[in-house]
Amino acid sequence: AQSVTQPDIHITVSEGASLELRCNYSYGATPYLFWYVQSPGQGLQLLLKYFSGDTLVQGIKGFEAEFKRSQSSFNLRKPSVHWSDAAEYFCAVGVGDDKIIFGKGTRLHILP
Amino acid sequence: KAGVTQTPRYLIKTRGQQVTLSCSPISGHRSVSWYQQTPGQGLQFLFEYFSETQRNKGNFPGRFSGRQFSNSRSEMNVSTLELGDSALYLCASSLGIAATDTQYFGPGTRLTVL
């Protein structure tokens, strides 16, 4: 069955440090891949998406993600986090023309 | 362009009652999806409507239903409310279907069932 796994429920990093949030999926073909962010009390906002082509995708707010087919992963990265990046991050996978599956999310905490 | 709007923003109901939530998508968007978000279960897909037709339905009981109108506005109904239905209900709209297109989320409706 198709699934999306975000192994880290919580991650804490210091402001200015680099960040990597992990996302693994289970699907037989190349999926559509998304990262969304949810700030407290708000809905989700798209950070970036991958459909095809270059496997390194640039998004908003300085985020990027790399699709690795061999590892079924789509990890989100940022070279230097800011206090305003504290939020919950969701990886999502569109399977074929059918449905979208969200991971359970990773909550990012930033230390000053 | 106005974003996705959801009404009401907050709702308190008692067990056994029913509730209707409303979602107005971004103008021109034909797909509306609904999600239930809880601390324990995360974001769970309820259903997706595209051009007034239900495309997909998540694993929720029949007490959860929805519809989409010709102007793409959507409503979600929950009958015979249970305590476990307390959650943030998010609506999202997209130009194309949710699996392949960027979704734009509303701020959600916070439902509390007492």
A99 touches chain B (CB under 8 A): yes
A96 touches chain B (CB under 8 A): yes
The two structure tokens encoding residue B15: 């067990």
C-alpha closest to that of A51 among A71, A65, A63, A38:
A65
**Partner residue facing B45 (CB), from A43, A97, A99:** A99
Q: Which residues contact B16 (CB under 8 A, 6 or more apart)?
A: B80, B81
What is the structure's pLDDT at B88? 96
pLDDT at A8 over 90: yes
pLDDT at A97 over 90: no
pLDDT in tens, B4-59: 999 999 999 999 999 999 999 999 999 999 999 998 888 899 999 999 999 988 88
For chain B, percent of residues with pLDDT exceeding 70: 99
Burial profile A63-85: b = 16 or more Cβ within 10 angstroms, e = fewer: bbbbbeeeeebbbbebeebeeeb
**Partner residue facing B106 (CB), from A36, A43, A96:** A43
Comparing A97 with B19, the larger pLDDT belongs to B19
- Flag the least confident range among A51-60, A81-90, A95-104, B57-66: A95-104
